[in-house]
Structures are given as structure tokens and as C-alpha cells.
Amino acid sequence: MGLMRMQAQALWQQCLGYLQDELTSQHFNTWIRPLQAEGDEHELRLLAPNRFVMQWVADKYQHRIRELLTDLCDLQPPHLKLGIGSRRTVSNPRSKASAPAPDSLVQDNLVQTSGFSTSAQAAAARYPKPPVGRVQTRQTKPSTPAAAEPSQVIEEAQDAPIDEKPLAAPKKTAKKSRAQKSNTSLTSKSATTPSLDQVPTKTKTTKKSKSAQAHLLTSTKKQDKASQAEHQVPLLAPCPEVIQEAQADPKHQAKTQTAEANKGRTAAERIQAYTRSVREHEERQRQQRSPYTGKANTSTKNSSKKAAALPKANSQLNLQHTFDTFVEGKSNQLARANARQVAEKPGGIYNPLFIHGGVGLGKTHLMHAVGNFIQQQNPQARVMYVNSERFVADMVKALQLGTINEFKRFYRSLDALLVDDIQFFVSKERSQEEFFYTLNALLEENKQIILTSDRYPKEIAVDERLKSRFGWGLTVAIDPPELETRVAILMKKADLAKVHLPAESALFIAQKIRSHVRDLEGALNRVIADAHFKRHPIDTDLIRDSLKDLFAVQEKQIGIDNIQRMVADHYKIKVADLLSKRRTRAIARPRQLAMALAKELTSHSLPEIGTAFGGRDHTTVLHACRKIRALQQELPEIREDWQYLLRLLTA
């Protein structure tokens, strides 16, 4: 039975290690540390000091403790019970024979023999109490049986309400022990205090007489302590396992080494040594702080634990960004379909998934949607969303604190890593190298990786090794939304905001705002705010008045002349060439591309666009739009030029 109790204690100590890593120090010290464990291989009983602590642990932490027991036990985990009580008893008052600490009331039922340090008490707390024996003093007195352990009240914190009350017996026993100790102390002092005639009379105050008096008082105190130690001996015999554990405890060994090192030192030298050791300890604690969780670095402590029991990563996912709230259109249809396949089968053929497109087109929304879907399917999955700047900051902090191994272990233990805006890795060689090794480690374990950028992978000025890894899986683009998609986005946002938006009003905004989704959301929010302030329903007049400055900026930024200038600069030709009658491919292809962009990004009609391009007919403009749409499917270079110019014009 003693071995089974030791196994229960050891199991609870392992659980404490995990809980200390997962919880903040305040929560752990308030709710978990006061719990005392006992039981056997079939049942683990956790005793709380009061009803409030027990109910709180049952509500907040009982489920997590059961999970840890299941993970730590190879076979059937022990049944968990919560209750109120204590596995400690109050022993008779006693003093230590040669311990350096002063006499005090001993409330712990574990033995504290001569020369037994506090580390022995800590070790004894992990073992069952040895059997209570009979005690004899050094004088010839009849032995008295030691008090047996008081019964403990175990209250199961299960589904039934808790009606029992905690025991109050230990407090009464403690009061009695204080009284006994007081009487014993008075008796021993009266027995060892010298009589008045033994104290030298005070005649002439000389240095010799003062020295004699001081020597007499010192000897009196020593006799007093010796008398107490002679009449009081420990009630319990030390357990051999406890002594062995205490001697092997690092704290006990450190205390022994410190005592040996202090031999022959002066008081000043001891103070200097103690100050130096405190500073070294604080420095080690500072270096062991994690740059990710703010908790102590436990990479060495937990290196042998199961990977599934690692602290759950703070995913940083936005729960509002899901596939249901993502508005699908022609511009993002392919990207959404591929992202959904990755979410359903993470770590498959589309690994890594690289999504690129302009600002505010939905790349981040899709990334969060994949992460949320993975966690819905598998709540235990370790998913992490991070932008490249956060990754670099974490790595720099880890290098400064000397916790780079924990940094690597944290990121390489994820089930899905979502990195946003990787173009910020440019000119950061050390971060690129570490990110490269992290990608390799995750890809070898078939862990899903999703990357986003505002440009095509080959256009990012990073290491060629990283570019090759980006192209391993699937690269998909998101284009600026077309008119129908912009209208659908506005209607969806208005529905989420529970605001009535007429279809003609949504169409009017979509025709004027042609850049990206964030501009659409900002315009809609301004219209809703003005409608609430003016207490006026949303209509075309209200929209025109609310967004007149924004409409002016949009018309100025994306005009036909601006499109012609951007296309001419990209293809290294003159704007006059686009307006000329020349039909060579080097001129005709950019002219068709500029016409298609004008049709996509402006509200001008086909005849107006044809007139702006040298007085051409509207059928020429229509043919150019169809030709560019077909060439995007056939020629990758045309598709890349189209996406690049769209990003420049809508940025």
C-alpha cells in the first residue's frame, strides 16, 4: 500500500509540472499548489484546504487534470476525486536536538530529525507517512503511544452538490500542542535556570566581571536548549526513502556545499558570496524567461515529455474570419477552393499553400479561415498565425535571452504554421535562415504551411532556397474584386452589421470604389455612421454626400491617363505609342492590356475608352478585353503583368 501511495504522489508531481507550465504563477499558487494528493493506483484524491478552493478547481481545472492523468498513464488512469481535508496531522510539541532553527510549533506530520534540512521535508511530502511508533524519552519513563492519524473527509467533486464541511480537528490539536509546549518550555527553563546565590553579585563593574556574566548567560541558554532536546524526541522514525531522496535533492546538496565553503570565511566574505549567488540565480531566471509566453523556460525540464502534452499554442486566430463570412467571386474563387481543400486535408499535396495578391483582397481572411477550420475539426491541433515581423521579433528576443532552442522547439512543434506578409523577410538574412530550417522541419513532418505576400514569390528578394520552398506546393493569386463581387461584399458586410442597404445603393458604392475590400468596408462604415447621425435611411443622395471626398480621390488615382502612363512605364514604351496606329505586337499587346485595365478599373463606357486610345471604336475595346482575358489563361507572363499592374493601380 505504501508503494501505491508513492506512485500516486509521483503521478501528481508530474501533473504539477505540466500545470505550472500552462498556468500563470498567480493562478497556480492560488488554486493548484494548495492541493494535497493521496491515493493508490486506482484512485487519486486531491484535498483542498477549503470548500471555495475545491469548487473552483472542480469548475476550472478538473477537466485538464483528467486529461493529464490520461496522457501520463500508459494503462487505465486513476479515478480522480476532489475533497476537503488534509493529509497532514499535528504532532506533539518537540524541538530539534541540533538544528540551527529556533524552537517552534511543528505542524507537519513528517519527521524533522537532527540535521534534517527543509529539502527533506519537501521530499517527504512526496512519500506516504511511515507508521507511527512508540516513543521513549531518555529518562526511564513509561512509553506513551503516539496519536493516530485523524480521519479525513473526502468529498467527491462530481455532479452531485457538495454538502459536507471541512474538519476542524487539526486546529484544536494545534492549540493543545501550543499549551503543552508552553508548559514544557517553562518547566525546562525553571529546571535549568541557576539560583540567585549562583549569580555573582554586582560590586565593581570591571571588564572581567562583565565577561563572566556574559559567559554565565550563554551557558545557561545552552543548558536550556539541551534540556528541551533531552526531554523531547521525534515521534516518527524517518523513512529510508525520504532520507535518500533528501540527500539526493539539489537544494540539500547545495546547502551542504555552501556550509563547507563558508568554513573559515569572515562575515563580510559570506555576505559577498551570498550576494553573488543571488545575482547569479536572478540572471539564470531572467535568461530562462520565454519570449513567447512570459513563463519560465522549461525546454530542458520537459524535453522527455510527450509532444502532445506541450502547452497549447496561442493561435492568434480571428474567429470572425471563416469560410462562411468570405464572399466568393470570380477574382478569388480559385484561391478559396484551394484553401478549403487544404483545411480539409492539412499537410497534403498543397503544402505549402502560397497566396499572393494586393492589399485588402482577402488573403489574411482566407488564412484565418483555414486555421479556424483545422481547429474545429481537431481541437487539439496546434495552429499558429503570425506575421513575418512577429517571427523576426521572437527570434531576436530568443537570441538576446539565450532561449533560441525553445524558439525552435516552439515553432517546429506546430501542426499548422500560418505566416502573413513574408515580403518583410527581405534584408533579414539571419531570420531567413531560421525560417528556412523551420519550413524544412515542418514539411518533413507533413505539417501544413500557409504563406501570403503582396507579390509573386519570384519577385520577393529573399534567399533562393526559400523561393524554391515556396514553389513546392501550390501558388494561387487573388485579384481585385470585380463589380459583382464588390456588390456582394457590401451586402454581406451590411447584413453582418444588421443594417438595411438597398441594392441600388450597394451598386452605386461598388461602381465608385474599385480598389479593394478595405476601402469598401471603410466607405460602408462611413455611410452607416452618417445615416445614424442624420437619422436618414441610406440612399444614393446620402452616399454621394458622405463619400464625396473619397470619390474624388478614387477618380483622380485611377483614370485612363494614369493607366496609360503606368502601362507605358512597365513596357518601356511611350504613351504616344499606345495612342498611335501601330499594330506591332510590342505596341498592340500593351495597348490591349491598358484598354482592359481601363474597362476593369474605371466607370467609363466602351466608346469613351476607345476615344481615349486614339479615337478607336468600342468594338476594338471589347475585342481587347476578351483577348487579354484569354491570354491570362494561356500565358503566365501576361497573367503576371496583369496582376502586377492591378496592384500598382489599386494600392
Amino acid (1-letter code) at residue 588: A
Question: Which of 401, 473, 405, 403 has the alpha carbon at shortest distance from 439?
Answer: 473
Which cell goes with 310?
506541450
CA pair distance 110, 86, nearest whole angstrom: 13
User: Over 33-65, what HEC string results?
Assistant: CCCEEEECCCEEEEEECCHHHHHHHHHHCHHHH
Q: Are strands 43-48 and 79-84 parallel, antiparallel or unpaired?
A: parallel
Q: What are phi and psi of 356, to 5 degrees?
A: -130, 150
Cα dihedral 293, 295, 297, 299, rounded to 10, equals -60
Q: Is 363 annotated as a binding residue?
A: yes
Could you give the 3-state DSSP secondary structure of residue 163? coil
Query: Hey, what long-range contacts does 250-255 have (CB within 8 A, 24 or more apart)?
Result: 251/117, 251/118, 251/119, 251/122, 252/117, 252/119, 252/120, 255/117, 255/119
360 is in an annotated binding site: yes
Q: Can you tell me the distance from the alpha carbon of 132 to that of 149, in angstroms, rounded to the nearest whole number? A: 9
- As a whole number of angstroms, the distance between CA 226 and CA 97 comes to 7
> CA Rg, the chain, in Å?
39
**Helix ranges, 95-206 (H):** 118-124, 169-192
* Terminal C-alpha separation, the chain: 74
Per-residue b or e along 579-603, where b marks 16 or more CB atoms closer than 10 Å to that residue's CB:
eeeeeeeebebbbbbbbbbbbbbbe
- Could you give the CA distance from residue 98 to residue 635 in angstroms, rounded to a whole number? 91
DSSP 584: -
For residue 496, which phi and psi values (nearest 5 degrees)? Answer: -65, -35
The DSSP call for residue 282 is H
Distance CA 105, CA 178 (A): 7
User: Under the phi-then-psi rule, with left for phi > 0, alpha for psi from -120 to 50, and beta for the rest, what region is 96?
Assistant: beta
CB atoms within 10 A of CB 46: 25
Please report, for residues 41, 44, 81, the alpha-carbon distance to residue 2 in angstroms, rounded to integers and kept in the order given.
11, 14, 19
Helix (H) or strand (E) holding 417: strand 416-420
Cell of 434: 531560421
Q: How far apart are CA 418 and CA 346, in angstroms?
A: 12
C-alpha cell recorded at residue 569: 512605364
Grouping H, G, I as helix, E, B as strand and the rest as coil, residue 289 is: strand
145 preceded by a cis bond (ω within 30 of 0): no
Contact partners, residue 138, CB within 8 Å, separation at least 6: 230, 231, 233
Binding-site residue numbers are: 360, 362-364
Binding-site residue numbers for ATP are: 360, 362-364
